[in-house]
Structure formats: C-alpha cells, structure tokens
Structure 1
Amino acid sequence: MPGLASFKDYRKEWFKDDLRAAFSVSAVALPVGIAYAQLTGVNPLVGLYSCVLPMLVYALFGTSRQLIVGPDAATCAVIAAVVTPLAAGDSTKHWQLVMTMTAMTGIWCLIASRFKLGILADFLSKPILMGLINGVAITIIVGQASKVLGFSFDERYLLDRLAAAPNYLSEIHWATLAMSLSAVLVFLVVKRFRPGWPAAMIVIAASTTVAWLFGLEKFDVALVGDVTVNLTSLQMPAFDIGIARELVMPALNLAMVSFVSMMLTARSFAAKNGYDIDPDKEFRALGLANLASAFSQGFAVSGADSRTAVNDASGGKTQLVSLIAALVIGLIAWLFTAPLAFIPQAALGVVLVVASWSLIDLKNLWRLRTRDRRAFLLALTTFVAVLLIGVIPGITLAVLLGLFQFLQVVMRPSDQCLGLDSKGTLRSLDGTDKAAAVPGVFIYRFNSPLTYFNASYFKRRLLEKIAAESETPQVVIIDAVPCFTHPDISVMAMLSDLFHLLKRKQIRLILAGRKRQLMSWCEAQGIPTGEGGLLVRSDLYLALKMSQSYKQALADGQAPVLKRPPEMDLVLEHSHL
C-alpha cells in the first residue's frame, strides 16, 4: 500500500489544504457521478457508489498524490455501448452486466500488473488517444441531445442518429428545452463571474430546486425519480459463461484505455509537483479500484482529469483528499438521497454535454497535420473510426494501431552509415561534408534490437547499402550495441549466413561492442570467431583501429587521424581488466 507512506509522514500543516480540496472534489464528483450513471444506464445512486470505495482503495494502493479516480465519460460510454444490447431492456440484468464488465476490467488490470505491463502506458500514443477521446466526446454529445431536447432516439449508432435528426425536430419538448437552456445559462454565468465555484454542482442544485418548487413533472419534464435502493434489490456481478464471453475483449479494451488515460493524467500532475509514479503499481491500484467498484454495486472507474485538476488547483497535498471526499459522498448517498429524485434529466444531460465538450480538441488534432503528418493520420483514423463504426470497434482499432505503430518502429527502424569528421570523431553520414566515409571500411548502425521478425530486414538492408557503395568495402563494421541485445536463435543464424556471405566476397565482418556477450553467443551457436572467423571488438574506435584496411588508409594519407574520446580509454581499460 504505497499510499500509507504519505499518511505515515503526514504533516499537520497540509490538513487545511487537503480538507478544502476534498470538499471541492466532492462538489464536482457528485453531479458528475449521477450524470455518468445515467450515461451508463443504471440507477443514479450507482454513480455515487462508484466514487466511494474506489477512491478509498486508490488512496491506499496508488502512487499518485493528486490523482482522483472515479466515473469517466469514455469508460461509461464504452460500458453502455457493450452492455445495452446484451441486457435487451432488462434493467436488473443491465446492472449486473455493468458490474460484471467492471470486475473483468479490474481482473485484466491485476493480470497486467502481475506481469509488469506498466509499459503499456506508452503503448497507445498521444495522437491515437487524442483521436479516440474526441470521437467518444462527440458520440456522447449527440447521445445526450435527446435528453436535452426531450425526446428519445430510436437509432443506436451515431451516423444513423445524425441522419434522422431532421425527423426529430417536431418531437422537441419545449419545456425540457427551456430547462436545458436555463441550465446552460446558469453554467455560463457561474463560469464567467465565479470561475472558482463548482458550476456543475450549482447547475444541478438550481435545476433540482426549480423542479421541486414548481412541480416540473406536471409539465412532462423528465426527472431522475426515486433513487433509493433497498437491500433486497442489491445486485452482484453475473458471471454467466455465455454472456461473460462477450465481455472479455471489451473489458480488455476498457482496461487498456482506462489505464493509458489515467497514466497521462497522473504523470502530468506528478511532473508538475516533482515526484514519480510507478506504472505497474498504478495498474494494480486501478484493478483493485475497479473490483471495489464492482462489488459495491458500481461501474468502471478511471483517472478523472477534471477532478484531479480541481484537487491540484485547491492545493491538495496527499491522498487524504480522496479519503475525505469519499466519506462526504458516502454520507450523501446514505442519508440525503431524497432530493436526488427531483434532478431533471435535462440538467444531467447538460452536465454531460459540457463535460464532453471540454474533451474535444479538434484544433490541436488538426495542428498535427503540419507538425507530424504520420501522427495526424493515426489520430484522424481513430477519430473517424469511433464516429463511423462505434466506440468499441474504434477502441479496438486504436489498440491495433498502437500495436502496428510499435511493430513498425521495431521491424523497420531507422539506420545510419557512419564516418569520421575532421577531428576523427564518428558521425552519421547525412549527405553534408561534416563527415566522410572511411576508405575501404563500411560502418553500419541499426537502431532497434534484433529479433526474429526483423533479422531478415536487417540483413537485406545492410547488403543493399553495401551494394550501393561506389567501391566494395574490405571491412564491414556493425555497431552491435543498439541491435544485439539478447541471444535470439534466428538472429544468430542470420549473422552466421551474413558472415559466410561476406567472406565469400572477401569482406571482413566485425562486430563492435558487447564483446563478452557476443563471443559467448557465437560460441553457443557454433559461429567461428577470431582470426579467420567473425571478429568482435570492444567498441567502434577499437574496431577501426585494428582493421587492416583502415591502417592502409592511414598509411596512404586518405583518412583523417582517428581520435578516440578520452572516456573510451576508461571503458577499454575496464573491459580488459
């Protein structure tokens, strides 16, 4: 429990800031939790359940001091998209499936933590996540339009809803629209004149008061209704084998996206406040928080960027903020549920639309077009996929794009030919006159670890570059440090073939770097080393120094004098020892 360390060394002067931050977080989390419960398709009280235990669990198991976990727009949209067709209109089954998917998401997170897969925080690149979040935000806004305008969509998918939008104009409920416009006006006024106040909380409180005083249900304005949950109606996750099978991959996608999104938030605030977080422990903390949510009747949670920003802006110092906020929300869910019944659904729709609107960042997405065209295409593809084929297929595509992007970098990395500048220092040959090739010597660097799926590309690329030389080199030196990182049988077989192929062409092959490892790997695979075999040297400078062709070039005065950096003498002395 890494969070216990902060409580062990807690300073009493932090308490005032933490208490103020806790009430600020509660004020934001309450309306958002209720609204996201509506988005998920469960009782509004479930949104509060999803805040209490997960926040307590993360406070103990998380490594971020500022991060607040709770319901998130993207996770709720994903759950609703998966569960709604499986529940087939049965509200009890819907609730059970929501908890089941939440529990499975937590299990996936714990498995990932057990296998040290915190590196997946870097798996979905920023452009892919940007396209994904923009697409999800627009999907939520269109979906909430029915609550804001007072009608119900018959269509399930975004494009179908947009195409049928003109047909719904005649179904607009004007009293509901008036409530929605009033909620928007209150929100804008608060943001304009009191930007530090919890605008969403004030909107919900004001609209609830109006609904209670004027009996808006008489005007057919939809209200939340009774939100009390009897002990006899409490549910548990339903692990029906047939249906659970349908939830396995969506839960994996949800775990992936939730973790990456959470890590982006956690890392940004950790960097701002000058500390580090542990990705593997964060994966475990997210998994435990989701399990706690599932078994307390709640739905999936993630890192909540808006509530984390409120916490940081209010001066929150430790996870005591989460503990106090959870207790406040828990007391409200236990003792003050009656007023929740008068909340207009239009007001909740406005809160969701505003929250989703803040996630849209099409301007920065478009700017990628000039900064990094490849990143722009990744973001645009993910964005369009979410809009065209739905949230779940869009997330699956985003995960696959991240995988393909990684494989492309590893399988088809950059490479360089090296030469010497006028001072005798090794540099990349970039087409300028800053460095020149060493006569008779070809120096090659492959910028990725060699493994079975890029070994053939490495060999082909090297031979193509050798063939492109104006004169066939006498010596080929490969920088072994970046590419020979582990003993792969396929790689060693390729190296043996390359050695014999170059030997037939009377070209000497030298590997520079990782001398001890490469010697043992070659011996294990039966590749001859030493004179008449594959040469292995401690570093590139020593490989150049000991190559006969380079000595001949020096004797002829055709190459600059080689100057090894002083620090390399220490490296060589240590390797000889």
Structure 2
Amino acid sequence: MGKAQHGRFSRGLQRLAPGLAALLAYRRRDLPGDLVAGVSVAAVALPVGVAYAQLAGFSPVVGLYASILPLLVYALFGTSRQLIVGPDAATCALVASALVPLAAGDGELYLSLSVALAGLTGVFCILASFIRLGALADFLSKPILVGFLNGVSVHILAGQLGKLAGVSVAAPGVVPAAVQLLEQYADFHWPTLLVGLSAFAVLLLSPRLLPRLPAALVTLVVAAVVVAVFRLDQLGVTVVGAVPAGLPELKLPAVPWELLDELVAAALGVALVSFSSMMLTARSFAAKNHYEIDADRELAALGAANIAAALTQSFAISGADSRTAMSDAAGGRTQLAGVIAALTIAVVLLFLSGPLRFVPIAALAAVLIMASISLLDVRGLVLLLRFSRIEFVFAMLATLGVIWVGAIKAILVVLVLSLIRFVRLSSRPRVDVLGKVAGISGFHHLANHPQATTWPGLLLLRFNAPVVFFNANYFRQQVEHAVERAGAGLHWLVLDAMPITQMDVTGYLAVEELRATLRQQGVQLVVAGRYQELMAWRKAHALEDDDTLYFPTMRKAVKAFLEWQEGGDAEEA
C-alpha cells in the first residue's frame, strides 16, 4: 500500500472507528496501566452489573451481558480513551419506569421490550450524530464539568454508605439519603460494617504490599474468601449471589409493533439522558487527562454500544462514572482498558461465575467509595475561585445540584446552568470605548489604556458579540449611553464590526433604530471592518442604501474623520 493510500485508509479509519485507529497505534508503555485498570474495572463491573440488573428488574446475568459486547464496541468507535460504558443506575431506573407499565408483569415481554428499547436508543443516537447534535455538549464548560464531577463523587460515596452499614437507603438525593442512614443507626448490621471497614484496610494496604496487583481486585477476592470460609453470608452479610455461567446468545431485537409509539418516546428520553450523562463523564476525564473528544462520534459510539446491548439480549447502557473513575484511578490511559475489562468479564462468566456469588456488597461499596474520592477536584475549585468568583459559583451550583436532587436530575440542572452562562456571556458582552495607544498597533479599550489618544468629536466603540435577538436591545442601549456620555460635541460614532460575526433581523432593526436616533442628534453612524461581507450581506437582503458610512478598517475610518474635520467630504470606502 502506497503512502497516499495508507494516508486515506488511516483518515477513513479515524472517521469510522477512532477507537480502533488508536488501538492500531498502541504504545507499549501504556500496557501495564491499561492491564491493571481493565482488571480493576472488571472487578467492580461484575457485581455492579448484577446489582443494576436487579435494579432494572432483570436476571443478574443480564447485567453482565450489558458489560461485554457494548464495552468492546465502544472501545472501537468511541473517542474517549478512558470512558467505560455499561449498566448505569440512572439508565436502569429509566428503563424500569418506562417498561414496567407496558409489560404488565409479563417477564418475557419485559425483556423483549428492553431489548427493543436498547436497539431504538442506539438508532436514535446514531441518527443524531449524523445531524451533529453532539454540539449540544459544547455548552458544558470547565466550571460546570468540575462541579458536576465533584457532585458525582459525593453522590457515589453517599449511595454506598447504606450498603457499607448493611441497611437499606432508598431516599433520592445525597442529603435525604444521609438523613435516612443516620435515622437507621440502631439497625446497622455490624458484621457487614466490619467487612466493609476491613475492605477499606485492604484497599489502603494492598498498593504497598502487592503493588503489581489492582487493589480493587485484591480487596474483592480477599473479601469473597473470608465470606466463604467463615460463612458470613449465613450471619446476614449480603453477597452478590449465584450468577449463571456462559456468554449471551446474539439475536436481532424483536420490536412489538403495537407498542412502538411508547417505545419510541421512551428511547428518545433514554438517549438524551444517556448521552448527557456520558458526555459529562467523558469530558470531565478528558479535561482531567488533557485530551479532546468528538461529541458527534461519541453519540455514534453510544448508539453502536446500545445496539450491541440489544444484540446480546440486554438493556440500554450509558457511560459509567464509577467504573470510569476506577479505570482512571488504576492507571488506565487508552481504550485497551475497556477491552481488557470486557474480556475479563467474559472469562469470569465462562469459568469463574461460581466464586462470584461470595463477593460481599459491603466490600464493593468500599471499592466504589475509594474510587469516588479520586474524583474530587479541590485544586480545580481553588483555581476557579482565584480566576473568577462567578465561575466558582457555577461549579458549586453544579455540585449542589447533584448532591441535592441526584445525578440524573442534576443533568438538567447542569444543562440549564450552562445555558444561563452562555446567555449571560452572549447577551451582556463588554462594550469597549477605544483609543490609539502609542507603540501598539490597532485600537484598544480605554479602561485598560487610560493614556490612549482620542479625538474630540469622534467615538470609537467595540461591541464584543454578534448582534442577535437576545442582545439587540442591550446593544442599542449601550451605544446610546456611550453617545450620551460623549456629550454634545460628538460628530461621528465608529462601530468596530470585526467582533460582530452575525446579525439577525432583530439585530438589524436595532441598528436601524440606533441610526435614526443618531441622525436626530446630528451624529454620523460609521461601520468599520468586514466591509466586503457587509456589502454582500446588504445586497443579498436587497437593503436600500442609507446614510451609514462603511470603511474596511478602523484606521481608515479615523483617517476619514480627520480629513472631514479639515473640511473634506468623507466618502464611503
């Protein structure tokens, strides 16, 4: 294959399967970390898959099926190096709430509906990727991501405390769950709590005593052995329980056509929530580890993973924050960690499903709590506080949203916060009064350069945003206020058009109102910059000529004003 053909093949592979392209260019030095991370993720994913399957109302083994082929498929098509997909508490809750009323107690129909729902969710995600709806994820800023990740850390920790103490905590949200846990102090199951605290001890000591083995795996193996030897399950210590052996059979999903309308609506909801949750997790870890992800390809990868879940007779999946945190904490750096995790789960299902039944839930809770602690980004909060108090407040609001209403509802909170932040920045941009600074090219904000040269009768303004419907009135008001402050001797107002990258009809009408107001005050409106674009835009919209003057640059506009002052006629450029 020639260089040109090889280049085309590489670019095509990168577009179609970016994960596979990354694996083909794998660096050997990443293998030790990925190997440890993959086994660690599998050690957590096995009991978590069982637990989430039970949460969604399925046989425990269905949760493990959702952790094999979907994870392999995502590793091939995803752009995140670390994201682990699989059963997710929020997605499982959505699946259950959507399908339980439709199945009406029929277990076989319930599973069939689940498979169809996963398939439709995958199709919608792939279709959304083609029309580039992944751009919605661009509204998630760094402060929002830091805040959400810190909130998820606290949320995971709080969700495991009840399992650690051997009591049931069903209250939604971190604060209600903590209150419910404290109210059940007298009901704590002390053997379970002892197992959980001992698991913490193993987690802390294992890296020192057995540095080459994943601490999570060592902890769960030790805990399972202790439970089996001392029969702690007979003393009330909750364990994972029996898991059937064998791999899933691949089948095409059968869609119950009479329930298609309900399934389509549910699939759209699951796709939205799954993608939002996945992107928050993926972008948080990408930012933490300094690499970029492609939102549209992530949509397609999530869709492919959900179709894989449907083919393996499982349920809809999403990004798994706790397992991704585990991969990151264990040193996972590439997609190979997910591949190793999936293969490890498959091996366990084939040959080692028996010992899995002895894993205590309290030890699993200890592992997840340790992983959640690694998510806390206190340094990031300190940086935000130093940089901008408003950005810090947004981060804290995102954290409190997760803590107060739970991770699933907090997704809506985070999206609203991001939208508010975007509207705030775009609708109320800075308006600069400009002057000429000696020794520096261009024109600069007088607030930063009070020594800058200005010219009597001339006002130079820069509006640092497009002029569209949500800031057009603000634009007009700010310009009028600047004109009022300039006083009665003002003759020309020069507006720098370079930052105005777009103008809709509302913006155009605001400019027309401003022009009419200025004309009544004897002030000439001048627009500098984007000359060719503005001329083409006016011609395309068949706009009549008016008394506005246009110049290609601010420098030429100032020169024309000085010539006008000397008695010459200013001409449009």
Q: 1:270 to 1:301 in 2, by over 3 A?
A: same
User: Which residue in 1 is equivalent to 2:3?
Assistant: none
Shift in alpha-carbon separation, 1:330–1:68, aligned structure 2, 3 A: farther
2:199 is equivalent to residue 183 of structure 1:
yes
Contact map agreement 1:474 1:549 (CA 8 A) in 2: no
Task: Give the letter for the 1:535 counterpart.
Answer: L
Alpha carbons of 1:499 and 1:155: their partners in 2 closer, same or farther (altered >3 Å)? closer
2:567 corresponds to 1:547? no
Question: Could you say which residue in structure 2 is the equivalent of 1:438?
Answer: 455
Identity %: 29
Match of 2:477 among 441, 460, 464: 460
* Corresponding residue of 1:411: 427
**Matching residue of 1:566:** none
* Worse-matched range after superposition: 494-503 or 245-254: 245-254
Task: State the shift of 1:320 in Å.
Answer: 5.4
Specify which of 278, 281, 303 is matched with residue 297 of structure 2. 281
Moved more, 461-470 or 110-119: 110-119
1:69 corresponds to: 84
Distance apart, 1:18 and its partner CA: 6.2
Q: How far is the alpha carbon of 1:184 from its aligned partner?
A: 1.1
2: CA distance, partners of 1:218 / 1:130: 43
Q: Do the aligned residues in 1 keep the contact of 2:19 with 2:76 (CA within 8 Å)?
A: no
The within-5 A match list for 1:117-128 is 117-128=133-144
More displaced 10-residue stretch of structure 1: 235-244 or 487-496:
235-244
Aligned counterpart, 1:262? 282
Q: Which whole-Å CA distance do the structure 2 matches of 1:97 and 1:392 have between them?
A: 22
Distance 1:247 1:187, change over 3 A: same
Q: Distance in 1 between matches of 2:105 and 2:249?
A: 17
Counterparts of residues 312-323 of structure 1 (less than 5 Å):
313=331, 319=335, 322-323=338-339
- The alignment status of 1:533 with 2:547, answered yes or no, reads yes
Query: Which residue is 1:562 aligned to?
Result: none
Per the TM alignment, residue 156 of structure 1 is displaced from its structure 2 partner at its CA by 4.3
Please say if residues 51 and 69 of structure 1, whose CA atoms lie closer than 8 Å, have aligned partners that are also in contact. Answer: no
Alignment of 1:296-375 (within 5 A): 296=312, 297-302=314-319, 305-306=324-325, 309=328, 313=331, 319=335, 322-361=338-377, 364-365=380-381, 368-375=384-391
The yes-or-no answer on 1:220 pairing with 2:197 is: no
The 3-state SS of whatever aligns with 2:494 is strand
Q: Is 1:204 paired with 2:220?
A: yes
CA distance in 1, matches of 2:362, 2:254: 30
Contact 1:527–1:534, Cα closer than 8 Å, also in 2? no
Distance 1:416 1:115 in 2: 37
Residue 167 of structure 1, aligned match among 183, 188, 211? 183
Q: Which moved more, 1:222-231 or 1:25-34?
A: 222-231
- Equivalent of 1:79, from 82, 88, 91? 91
Q: Tell me, what secondary structure is at the counterpart of 2:155?
A: helix
Query: Contact 1:510 / 1:534 at 8 angstroms: preserved in 2?
Result: yes
Q: Is the 8 A contact 1:412 1:457 kept in 2?
A: yes
Q: Which runs of 5+ in 1 are unaligned?
A: 555-575
Amino acid at match of 1:539: T
SS of 2:402's partner is helix
- Give 1:110 shift: 2.7
- Taking structure 1 as reference, are residues 321 and 171 closer, same or farther at Cα in structure 2, changes over 3 Å only? closer
Residue 354 and residue 5 in structure 1: after superposition, are their counterparts in 2 closer, same or farther (change >3 A)? closer
Letter in 2 for 1:537: F
Q: What is the identity, as a one-letter code, of the residue corresponding to 2:444? A: R
Shift in Å, 1:543: 1.4
CA contact 2:92–2:316 (8 Å) conserved in 1: no
The answer as to whether partners of 1:151 and 1:171 remain within 8 angstroms in 2 is yes
- In the superposition, relative to structure 1, how do residues 326 and 215 fare at CA in structure 2: closer, same or farther (>3 Å)? same
1:29 partner amino acid:
V
- Aligned pairs for 1:14-163 (under 5 A) are 17=29, 20-37=32-49, 40=52, 41=55, 45-63=61-79, 66-71=81-86, 76-80=88-92, 82=94, 87=100, 106-107=122-123, 109-153=125-169, 155-163=171-179
Give CA-to-partner distance per residue, 1:316-357, whole Å, 9 cap, x none: 6x7556545533432322332122111111111212222222
1:510 is paired with a residue whose SS is strand
| Matched-pair contact (CA < 8 Å) for 1:442–1:477 | yes
Q: Distance in 2 between matches of 1:262 and 1:49?
A: 22
1:97, 1:143 → 2: CA distance? 28
Q: Counterparts of 1:94 and 1:204 in 2: how far apart (Å)?
A: 32
Distance 1:206 1:236 in 2: 43
Q: For residues 419-498 of structure 1, what are the structure 2 equivalents within 5 Å?
A: 419-423=435-439, 425=441, 426-430=443-447, 432-483=449-500, 485-486=501-502, 488-498=504-514
* Compared CA separation, residues 204 and 259, structure 1 to 2 (3 A): same
Once the two structures are TM-superposed, the CA of residue 399 in structure 1 deviates from its matched residue by 0.7
Aligned AA (1:336): L
